[in-house]
């Protein structure tokens, strides 16, 4: 259906109009043009009527609060609060959902009294159908090729070919056994009971009971086999996914949040179990019954069989329509679950900040919207199934009535025996079971195949930081580093580093200085090969870093960050993280060098002390010294210190600095320091400004430059230090109260 162009409704000369947003759904939910006009005092929703337009909704701008976009099934709506209730301002299909997001940002800025932003159209859409893509995925649920996804999923079963063959044989055997009882019932009625053949009665009854017993045994064996197969395949998929996540560079994680990745590792991979256990085996088995039952009916009486099967094409058509709808619904469900996981993860990690800034109610409201979004999508799925199931049941019951009518007439005419009619009724009743099961399987597979494709999306992500085909093994790096005209940008539009040229000799200590955003951390990230330069190269001992084996290079690089991350576990395990085979004596020696041994042994459990999540059971200075001990034990040739003494008290800084002095000896060091005074001992200071090297020299040389950037930074820091000293002298600080 072609949609009329809504732009015809827009009136750029309308009195007091601030902006307008076009949509392609009318107020009654049908396809058609609609425009939301935001004026100086009100908001109007207008639609075409009799060659002109009519206002179908009007709200006072002063009473509107909290505008937001809510994702619906196949649509999106711009919603706001009015007198304590939600009102829908306008609705559009997903192809125009980004227009609503732009309108929401402009409306929110208008209500807050700020300047309305100019919104660029940066929407991510499916190249095939132009529908907007989810925030955390490039998978379009509408264009998902379920067949390819299913075939690829079964590619993980190759190591278990024997189990697959066994499962297939068991399903064939089970299908044959399920087809026997109606036929045996026919024999029982026509050949045994009607003719009073007592000697055959026992054998037919034994056959009926035996068929049912064998069927139960086959189902038991098949279920156990499928459970084994599915569990092992699920483990293989999770391992593959985790390995891939370890291989991907930071650029992958920059575009995704932790909650989304966790959702793929847990919920999405768990949904694959549904496909392998409840989905595909049932589809195959019930599919065999759907073929076998009509064949048996046709062999008995083709006229009655065709009459009984007449409603089936209509059921198949309805199933196909329902399946497509459920794929879209479950796609939205999993994306809603991903957003909920991300929201929960962020709140749990930032609990201290939430409580400190009294944000509990705000987070409750935000989480409530996420959980409601998830509930709405789940409700849509369940109500769709609840509507579809009775419809199919009624359609299937028609087959039973048809068999009684057509078959009953034949029995009255003497053209069919009562046993045959009974067998037909049995087969029709059996036919309903696989059809009903297949409908329910649609629910499982729709949800699970969408989840599977999200897993495959991660597995298919190209690894941009990996060994080159001609990678050079370098087990013993000397530490000579050379940046040659290095350029880098996280996004194409803005370059972070421009033309970096720098040569560092082995054993030299380089201090990186510059204001926030100058490019210091980016330079370090390139040196650690978290990213590769956009242009230029970084050489280690004369070899391009991209041609050095990643394992060899990372094994000889150490880092101490401002926020040192400790893994849940013991102090001993954290120190030995870079060298798991280190002895306790070596661990203690590294801790002594890092000035950490004395506080470690004061813990009741000593080196076996559990550090807690992210090391929260230790102070910041203690975590930092354990990180330094970890670097000392790692014994790197190139050492990177990123604000290693920031945010600690003076006494702790002295101890950390003493440990760092031992650590830097004999290594090539790149250091970023919050306090410029800590870089006095650096061989050279490199001052970065707007992504370029502005100054290079020793502390004294740069301090003597009258208009130098470094000198200005030192003077500003001295002024800040004086203000801090005066504040303490006047009684400020923690002890003043």
Query: pLDDT of 205-246, one tens digit each?
Result: 898 899 889 989 998 998 888 888 878 888 888 888 888 888
Neighbour-count burial for 659-690, b at 16+ CB within 10 Å, e otherwise: bbeebbeebbbbbbbeebebbeebebbbbbbe
- Residue 736 — very low, low, confident or very high, per pLDDT cuts 50/70/90? very low
Under a CB-based contact definition with an 8 Å cutoff, are residues 600 and 606 in contact? Answer: yes
- Residue 146 — very low, low, confident or very high, per pLDDT cuts 50/70/90? low
* Helical ranges in 528-619 per DSSP H: 550-554, 571-575, 584-593, 597-600
Q: Which DSSP category does 473 fall into?
A: P
Average pLDDT of 370-394? Answer: 77
- Residue 14 — very low, low, confident or very high, per pLDDT cuts 50/70/90? very low
What's the helix, strand, coil split of the chain in %, to 5? 60, 15, 25
Average pLDDT of 3-30? Answer: 62
Contacts of 12 (CB under 8 A, 6+ apart): none
Whole-prediction pTM: 0.60
733 pLDDT higher than 60: no
537 pLDDT higher than 90: yes
- pLDDT (0 to 100) of residue 541: 92
Range in 156-165, 312-321, 666-675 with the lowest mean pLDDT: 312-321
- pLDDT (0 to 100) of residue 294: 85
Under a CB-based contact definition with an 8 Å cutoff, are residues 622 and 599 in contact? Answer: yes
- pLDDT (0 to 100) of residue 363: 81
- pLDDT (0 to 100) of residue 734: 43
- Phi, psi of 462, deg, nearest 5: -65, 140
685 pLDDT higher than 50: yes
Mean pLDDT score of the chain: 79
Closest CA to 651 of 587, 599, 588, 592: 599
Q: Which domains does the chain have, with CATH numbers?
A: 6-133 (2.30.29.30), 146-459 (1.20.1560.10), 481-710 (3.40.50.300)
Burial environment of residue 602 by CB neighbours within 10 A (0 to 12, 13 to 18, 19 or more): exposed
- Residue 482 — very low, low, confident or very high, per pLDDT cuts 50/70/90? very high
- Residue 5 — very low, low, confident or very high, per pLDDT cuts 50/70/90? very low
Q: Which of 306 and 491 is assigned the larger pLDDT?
A: 306
Tokens of 3: 């949609």
Length of the chain: 737
- pLDDT (0 to 100) of residue 7: 37
6 pLDDT higher than 70: no
Instruction: Give CA–CA dist 550/248, Å, rounded.
Output: 13
Range in 101-105, 351-355, 440-444, 459-463 with the lowest mean pLDDT: 440-444
Tokens of 169: 């044989």
Under a CB-based contact definition with an 8 Å cutoff, are residues 35 and 91 in contact? Answer: no
| Three-class DSSP category at 472 | strand
| Three-class DSSP category at 230 | helix
Under a CB-based contact definition with an 8 Å cutoff, are residues 131 and 125 in contact? Answer: yes
- pLDDT (0 to 100) of residue 568: 86
Q: What is the distance between the terminal CA atoms of the chain, rounded to a whole angstrom?
A: 73
Highest mean pLDDT among 251-265, 409-423, 681-695: 681-695
Under a CB-based contact definition with an 8 Å cutoff, are residues 178 and 289 in contact? Answer: yes
Task: Provide the percentage of residues in the chain whose pLDDT is more than 70.
Answer: 81
Instruction: Give CA–CA dist 401/310, Å, rounded.
Output: 12
List, for residues 49-100, the tens digit of each pLDDT value: 776 788 888 888 888 888 888 766 567 788 888 877 778 888 887 667 777 8
Range in 140-144, 290-294, 616-620 with the lowest mean pLDDT: 140-144
- pLDDT (0 to 100) of residue 649: 57
625 pLDDT higher than 50: yes
What is the pairing mode between strands 557-560 and 638-642? Answer: parallel
- Residue 543 — very low, low, confident or very high, per pLDDT cuts 50/70/90? very high
Under a CB-based contact definition with an 8 Å cutoff, are residues 189 and 418 in contact? Answer: yes
Instruction: Give CA–CA dist 502/486, Å, rounded.
Output: 9
727 pLDDT higher than 60: no
565: Cα separation from own chain's centroid? 23
- DSSP structure string for 266-317: IIIHHHHHIIIIIIHHHHHHHHHHHHHHHHHHHHH-HHHHHHHTTTHHHHHH
C-alpha pair distances (Å), 724 with each of 162, 717, 718 = 74, 10, 10
- Residue 132 — very low, low, confident or very high, per pLDDT cuts 50/70/90? low
C-alpha pair distances (Å), 228 with each of 115, 157, 241, 275, 283 = 61, 11, 20, 14, 18
Contacts of 393 (CB under 8 A, 6+ apart): 432, 436
Neighbour count for residue 292 (Cβ, 10 Å): 18
């Amino acid at each position: 259906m072609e949609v009329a162009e809504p732009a015809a409704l827009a009136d750029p000369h309308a009195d007091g109009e601030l902006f307008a947003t076009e949509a392609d759904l009318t107020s009654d939910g049908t396809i058609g043009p609609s425009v939301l006009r935001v004026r100086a005092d009100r908001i109007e929703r207008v639609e075409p009527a009799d060659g002109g337009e009519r206002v179908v909704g009007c709200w006072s701008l002063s009473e509107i609060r909290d505008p937001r976009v809510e994702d619906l099934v196949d649509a999106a709506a711009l919603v706001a609060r009015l007198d304590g209730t939600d009102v829908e301002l306008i609705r559009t299909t997903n192809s125009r959902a980004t227009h609503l997001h732009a309108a929401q940002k402009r409306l929110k800025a208008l209500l807050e009294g700020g300047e309305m932003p100019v919104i660029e159209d940066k929407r991510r859409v499916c190249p095939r159908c132009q529908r907007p893509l989810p925030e955390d995925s490039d998978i379009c649920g509408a264009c998902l090729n379920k067949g390819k996804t299913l075939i690829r999923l079964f590619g993980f079963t190759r190591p278990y070919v024997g189990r697959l063959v066994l499962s297939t044989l068991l399903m064939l055997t089970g299908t044959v056994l399920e087809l026997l009882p109606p036929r045996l019932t026919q024999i029982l009625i026509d050949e045994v009971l009607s003719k009073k053949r007592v000697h055959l009665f026992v054998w037919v009854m034994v056959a009926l009971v035996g068929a049912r017993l064998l069927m139960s045994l086959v189902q038991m064996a098949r279920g156990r086999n499928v459970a084994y197969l599915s569990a092992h395949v699920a483990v293989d998929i999770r391992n593959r996914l985790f390995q891939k996540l370890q291989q991907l560079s930071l650029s992958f994680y920059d575009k995704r949040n932790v909650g989304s990745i966790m959702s793929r590792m847990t919920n999405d991979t768990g949904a694959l179990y549904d496909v392998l256990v409840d989905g595909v085996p049932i589809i195959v088995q019930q599919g065999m019954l759907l073929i076998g039952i009509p064949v048996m009916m046709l062999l008995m009486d083709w006229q009655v069989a065709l009459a009984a099967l007449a409603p089936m094409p209509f059921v198949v058509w309805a199933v196909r329509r329902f399946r497509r709808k459920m794929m879209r619904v479950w796609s939205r469900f999993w994306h809603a679950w991903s957003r909920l996981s991300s929201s929960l993860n962020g709140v749990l990690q930032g609990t201290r900040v939430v409580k400190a800034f009294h944000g509990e109610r705000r987070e409750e409201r935000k989480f409530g919207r996420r959980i409601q979004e998830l509930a709405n999508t789940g409700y849509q799925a369940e109500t769709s199934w609840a509507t579809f199931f009775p419809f199919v049941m009624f359609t299937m019951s028609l087959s039973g009535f048809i068999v009684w009518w057509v078959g009953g007439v034949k029995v009255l005419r003497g053209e069919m025996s009562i046993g045959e009619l009974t067998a037909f009724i049995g087969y029709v009743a059996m036919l309903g079971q696989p059809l009903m099961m297949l409908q329910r399987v649609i629910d499982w597979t729709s949800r699970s195949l969408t989840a599977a494709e999200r897993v495959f999306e991660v597995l298919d992500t190209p690894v941009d930081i990996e060994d080159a085909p001609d990678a050079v093994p370098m087990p013993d790096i000397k530490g000579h580093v050379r940046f040659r005209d290095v350029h880098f940008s996280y996004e194409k539009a803005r370059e972070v580093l421009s033309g970096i040229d720098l040569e560092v000799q082995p054993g030299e200590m380089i201090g990186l200085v510059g204001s926030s955003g100058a490019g210091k951390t980016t330079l370090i990230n390139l040196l650690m090969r978290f990213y590769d330069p956009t242009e230029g190269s970084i050489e280690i001992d004369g070899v391009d870093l991209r041609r050095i084996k990643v394992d060899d290079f990372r094994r000889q690089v150490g880092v101490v960050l401002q926020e040192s991350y400790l893994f849940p576990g013991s102090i001993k395990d954290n120190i030995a993280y870079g060298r798991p085979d280190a002895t306790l004596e070596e661990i203690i020696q590294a801790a002594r060098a890092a000035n950490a041994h004395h506080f470690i042994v004061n813990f009741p459990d000593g080196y076996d002390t559990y550090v807690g999540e992210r090391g929260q059971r230790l102070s910041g200075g203690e975590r930092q010294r354990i990180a330094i001990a970890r670097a000392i034990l790692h014994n790197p040739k190139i050492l990177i210190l990123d604000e290693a003494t920031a945010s600690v008290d003076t006494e702790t800084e002295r101890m950390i600095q003493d440990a760092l002095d031992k650590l830097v000896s004999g290594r090539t060091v790149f250091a970023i320091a919050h306090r410029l005074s800590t870089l006095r001992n650096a061989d050279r200071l490199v001052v970065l400004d707007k992504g370029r090297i502005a100054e290079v020299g020793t502390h004294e040389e740069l301090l003597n430059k009258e208009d130098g950037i470094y000198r200005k930074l030192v003077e500003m820091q001295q002024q800040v230090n004086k203000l801090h000293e005066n504040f303490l002298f006047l009684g400020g600080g923690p002890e003043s109260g």
